[in-house]
Amino acid sequence: MEIKNRIWMTGSLDWYALVDGQEVWLGKREVPIPLEEGNAWINQIGDSFKIENGTIVHVGRVAPPEITW
């Protein structure tokens, strides 16, 4: 499957994408690799994403996941 968004990873392993013309932080380890149709995830600040029709879409904002060390 081909992702239609432009995505990239920085040297600090942060994933970014252009979503609706805006540069958006997708997350770090929570981003599923490889990206496949139907994948969904929530990044550390609570932004929720899903892949629909080969495009990463921002679903909305939810409560950030609780981090346990």
Distance of alpha carbon 65 from its chain centroid, rounded?
Answer: 14
**β-bridge pairing 22-27 and 40-42:** unpaired
Q: What is the mean pLDDT of the chain?
A: 93
Higher confidence at residue 9 or residue 1?
9
Q: What's the confidence (pLDDT) of residue 2?
A: 86
> What tokens were used for 31?
């981003």
User: Poorest-confidence range of 26-30, 53-57, 62-66?
Assistant: 62-66
Q: Note the pTM of the prediction, 2 decimals.
A: 0.87
Alpha carbon distance 38, 36 (integer Å): 6
Query: Residue 47 pLDDT more than 80?
Result: yes
Work out the average pLDDT over 5-12. 95
**DSSP label at 59?**
E
